[in-house]
Structure 1
Amino acid sequence: MLGSLWSRRCGLDNPIRLSRAESTRRVLSLELNKDRDVERMHENGINTLDIEPVEGRYMLSGGADGIIVIYDLENLSKTSSFTCKALSTVGKSHPDVHKFSVETVQWYPHDTGLFTSSSFDKTLKIWDTNSLQLAEMFQFDGNVYSHHMSPLAAKHSLIAVGTKSPKVQLCDLKSGSCSHILQGHRAEVLSVCWSPRYDYILASASADSRVKLWDVRKATGCLITLDQHNGEKSKASSESANTAHNGRVNGLCFTSDGLHLLTVGTDDRMRLWNSASGENTLVNYGKVSNSSRKSIKFTVSVGCSPDFVFVPYDSTIVVYTIYSGEKISVLRGHYSDVDCCVFQPHFQELYSGSKDCNVLAWVPAMREADPDEGHGKSRSWAHLHPAFEDAWSSSDEEG
């Protein structure tokens, strides 16, 4: 590290390369933090977590008990061992608490004054963070499995909602009404996700084994129906052959640059797609155990090289390299099935929620000083882990 800092200071190395190298090192050393507890507030399993993107300090959790909790992740005590305290709770005594399981929570992408939640009580609720009062509510005909606001949209304030209905619902925060619907799926929509690259591109996953990409500006709506066989089998059969998985598709996540889309299904497979062409890249991640009837919340790294994906796998979280499919590590600490995880890009930390009612913090291990560092003998991290080999070793840039 000292050698890298000296190269950066002398202008011999790219600052982005140094940042990516350190971010990658930190992700590869993630371990359960035994000195940091997250206050236990839920009586039942935790279905969803979200960290606000402005400061990366406040975290939302939603549970099967209908409760929503706001946590402060900062170490205010300045001691080595501390507990992330719950700042406020939409609990059982709150007049507008969800009646059934909360499936998704999300911060308003541009500030912490607003957050959203959706539930099996068939509602999507918009909350004022400071007063914890209900600002708006949308009612649906069936259970709400998932909802998502665009992380970058400036020209619209649409919330995409996946429900028991095969239609993707679009709710407009400005008008307070459901503006329009996207038709094309044949079963309940289990997961929705806006592109982090384009304002109007939306992905949806359904129990009909299909994943669709939509442009919400177009009257026809659907751009692509993803096909796991890349069209090879569809020539001899009907449109029904265009499926993304051989089972229910219950998880979606774009890569941080929006160029690719990851999907998980109950066929125990995860697939990586080119989000522009809809092509299946055929990356093999092996078996990714998934028997959930609901939406699975998985996440990707930001600012690393290579990029990583963190996937709940029974009572563990498995870390894969996105583009090679290599299994990097398995994070063990929960006592029951993990339903969600969220990445904190500011400090390369990971938080996970499980049916054991606990939120666990996974943080980079403290790096021990290498006695040879700074004397031209520091060893390459490529020798410690193959994920570094092609990513940023100095030999790639020489010559």
Structure 2
Amino acid sequence: MIQFLENVRAGIVEPHALIRAESTKRSYNLQLCKHRDIESVHTAGVNALDVDTMEGKYLLSGSADGSLHIHDLQNFTGSPHFTSKLICKVDRNLRTAHRYSVECVQWYPFDSGLFITSGMDKQLKIWDTNCMKPADTFSFEGRVFQHHMSRIATRNCLVAVASSVNHILLVDLKSGSCTHELRGHSSSTLTCRWSPREEYLLATGSCDNKVLLWDVRAAKCCLKSLDQHNGKGRSVSEATNTAHDGYVNGLCFTHDGLFLLSYGTDHRLRLWSTYSGHNEMVNYGKIPNDTKKCMQFDITVSSDPKLVYVPSEGNIFMYEIQSGVKVNTLLGHYNCVNSCIYHPFYHELYSAGNDRNVLIWTADHCQGAVYEEHLKSQNQKKEPFERRTLLVRRNVMADTWSSDEEG
């Protein structure tokens, strides 16, 4: 670390390289945290998680019994051993709670004073965090599998809603009404995600095996229908382009918005270029996925290369996005994992599943075996200039503290 700071002072490396290198090391070496945990309060499986983007302090979770929980993640005790306590709860027996399973939760992107939930009772609720009561409620024809609000939108307050009907609904929080119906899918819609780069770009996935990209300013038809064969179908029957050979139940943009990952019940994860709509043909192998509901997975923020954490049955698989290399498998849940969320400030992962547990995955700072193995394999492939760059990264990981008092 001292040597790296000297390199920064001398102008040999950029200051941002420290952040990138440390984030990469932590992302590669996640394991079940030994010193911190989440207070166990759930009485049913946990379907959805979200961390507030303003402070990174609060973890919101939704359960299969309709209850909601908020935990405080910050540790001010001065001890590494810490349990994140429950600070707010909406019990399933309350009149204002969801009647059935909560399928999706999200903090309001610009203020932790609001959060949004939806579920199998066909309702979307806007909650006031201060009093833990709904400020507004929207009812729909179908069961809601996922909703999403853009984290960068400045000119609108639109919430996209994917449900058991064959169109996407857009709810305007300012007017309190549904403003758009995006019609293009032929079956139930399972997932929807706004682009983190273009505030009007929306991606949707459905039981018709399709992934559609929309510009909501011109919603008469979609911009693109993603084709897994890039327009080169193998037979006449494949003239109708589909993104997967099964239901599409998971979507996630990279944080720069340049790529989109889709997850399907054909046991495949696919990487797409946002601008061209082409399948990047990255092979992640077979990833078991038989869940007929939305699956929440997430991507690292500032690591290089970027990693994706994908829930599959009772496991969480780690892959390099661009190469498709499987880095590691996180084992800790006793039942199916439903949700993974990556904390952008702490560089750690939270996961939840049907075993009623919310687990914390963090890096053991005394070990860097996975990342060191990655550097070693890359060192053997890279040209001399790139090899020197990797060696600089290695120096970041090394403990170069020394004592001037040694004889």
Shorter-chain TM range is: over 0.9
Residues 333-371 of structure 1 show CA distances to partners (whole Å, capped at 9, x for unaligned) of 1111100010001111100001000000001112369xx
Offset from partner CA, 1:234-283 (integer Å, 9 cap, x none): 894575x2100001110000011100000010000000000111100000
- Which residue of 1 is the match for residue 401 of structure 2? none
Are the counterparts in 2 of residues 306 and 387 from structure 1 also a CA contact under 8 Å? Answer: no
**Corresponding residue of 2:319:** 320
Amino acid at match of 1:349: E
Match of 2:278 in 1: 279
Report the CA distance shift for 1:77/1:215 in structure 2 as closer, same or farther (over 3 A).
same
SS at match of 1:209: coil
The CA distance in 1 between the partners of 2:378 and 2:58, in whole Å, is 31
Deviates more, 1:285-294 or 1:30-39: 30-39
Q: Closer, same or farther in 2 for the Cα pair 1:283/1:383, shift >3 Å?
A: closer
CA distance 1:35–1:225, shift in 2 (3 Å) = same
Distance 2:145 2:310 in 1: 18
**Displacement after TM superposition at 1:17 (Å):** 1.9
Report what 1:376 is aligned to.
none
1:222 aligned counterpart, secondary structure: coil
* Corresponding position: 1:176 with 2:176: yes
Q: 1:150 to 1:234 in 2, by over 3 A?
A: farther
Match of 1:373 in 2: none
Structure 1 CA distance for aligned equivalents of residues 327 and 235 of structure 2? 38
Q: Do structure 1's residue 156 and structure 2's residue 156 form an aligned pair?
A: yes
- Gap change, CA 1:112 and 1:387, over 3 Å in 2: farther
Which deviates more, 76-85 or 158-167? 76-85
Cα shift readout 1:110-158 (whole Å, capped 9, x = no counterpart): 1101000001000000000111111111100110000000010001100
The 3 A distance-change label for structure 1 pair 385 and 331 is: farther
| Cα separation, 1, equivalents of 2:374 and 2:272 | 31
% of aligned pairs identical? 46
Corresponding letter in the other structure for 2:43: E
* Contact 2:189/2:206 (<8 A) preserved: yes
CA–CA separation in structure 2 for the residues paired with 1:328 and 1:271: 17
Once the two structures are TM-superposed, the CA of residue 233 in structure 1 deviates from its matched residue by 1.3
Task: Specify the alignment match of 1:259 in structure 2.
Answer: 258
Q: Secondary structure at the match of 1:217?
A: helix
In 2: Cα distance, 1:394 partner to 1:15 partner? 19
C-alpha separation between the residues in 2 aligned to 1:31 and 1:92?
A: 33
Among 369, 385, 395, the alignment partner of 2:388 is 395
Number of residue pairs matched by the alignment? 387
Q: Which runs of 5+ in 2 are unaligned?
A: 392-407
- Which residue of 1 is the match for residue 51 of structure 2? 51
Task: Report whether the alignment pairs 1:311 with 2:304.
Answer: no
In structure 1, distance between residues paired with 2:378 and 2:144: 38
Q: Which moved more, 1:152-161 or 1:225-234?
A: 225-234
Q: CA separation in 2, counterparts of 1:390 and 1:57?
A: 40
Cα RMSD after superposing both structures: 2.1
**Cα separation, 2, equivalents of 1:141 and 1:356:** 30
Instruction: Tell me the TM-score normalized by structure 2.
Output: 0.91
> TM-score, normalized by length of structure 1?
0.93
CA 64–385 in structure 1, closer or farther in 2 if over 3 Å, else same: farther
Q: Which letter maps to 1:300? A: I
